[in-house]
Amino acid sequence: MDLKNKVTSLVHMRGAMIFEFFSPGIPIILKNAGCEFIIFDMEHGGLSLEQFKTLAIISKSHKIEPLIRIPEVSYNYVARALDLGASGIMAPMVNTTEDALKIVNSSKYPPHGKRGAGFGFAHDNYINQNPLSYIEKANNSLINIIQIESKLALENVKEIASIKGVDCLWVGHFDLTNFLGIPGDFTSEIYLNAINEIIKAAKSNNKSLGIMVNNKEEIETYSKLGFNMIAVGTEMNILYKSIAQILE
């Protein structure tokens, strides 16, 4: 089963988010570690689209799906990242249905969206194929991950989740606590109630739920809540902890 079918079938998936170490070896290391997908970050990290293109090609050749978090809700970032080989888009700060629809419309070829056509490039492995068959395949296989990480997004989460073409609701947990006035307090009733609202919206619309975790305990906690698409991060913190533990 490919990643898109796992997302739409709400199957458990495990991956990693990469913010700092955009080495050519990273996709292979993560594949060997058991990851099914990688989310390369453009919002907070220094990743360029040219770097991502190389990483996407390496990832696909080693059968690990490359996703990318773009820095803003923008047609340019969505369409270009997909053309460069992204299997899906993570969009930050999606606050309204208009924001979510912009992501869906930018990611899909007509008649389902407005993505511009360019074929035989990285996104279709440089294969000279029938464009019409590729368009249908691309529209059906790409993954749109919408981040819910603000008070306004929480207010609109039911409507956002109902949009066709939104595949996964991803909790931006730290920003969510910031915008709810409880920075970093993941035990707060305010945060837990917000999580429940997001879970309800996802379940009622048959959408995947995603989040980034730091440890095994968090994987277990969020899995029990119904989160099926979980990424480990940050790699900087994991490296720091591992080295510090050895040096103790």
Give me the count of residues in the chain: 248
- Give, for 229, the enclosing helix (H) or strand (E): strand 229-232
Domain regions of the chain by residue span: 3-145+214-247
- Map residue 95 onto helix, strand or coil: coil
Q: Report H helices in the chain.
A: 3-8, 26-33, 49-61, 75-83, 97-107, 131-141, 151-155, 157-161, 173-179, 189-204, 216-225, 235-247
3 state SS for 12-30: CEEEEEECCCCCCCHHHHH
What is the Cα–Cα distance from 57 to 50, expressed in whole angstroms?
11
Placement of tokens 């898109």 in the chain: 4
Q: pLDDT for 12-27, tens place per residue?
A: 999 999 999 999 999 9
pLDDT, one tens digit per residue, over 138-195 is 999 999 999 999 999 999 999 999 999 999 999 999 999 999 999 999 999 999 999 9
Q: Which residue has the higher pLDDT, 125 or 211?
A: 211
DSSP 163-186: STT--EEEE-HHHHHHHTT-TT-T
Closest C-alpha to 63, from 39, 32, 41: 32
Q: Give every CB contact of residue 148 below 8 A, 6+ residues apart in sequence.
A: 94, 154, 157, 160, 169, 170, 171, 172, 176, 198
On whether the CB atoms of residues 210 and 169 are closer than 8 A, the answer is yes
Whole-prediction pTM value?
0.96
Confidence band of 86 (pLDDT split at 50, 70, 90): very high
The string of pLDDT tens digits covering residues 87-98 is: 999 999 999 999
User: Yes or no: is domain 3-145+214-247 CATH 3.20.20.60?
Assistant: yes
Q: How far is CA 11 from CA 118, 133, 206, 207, 223, in A?
A: 32, 27, 12, 11, 11
Give dist(CA 135, CA 80) in Å, integer.
Answer: 15
In sign, the C-alpha dihedral spanning 60, 90, 20, 2 is negative
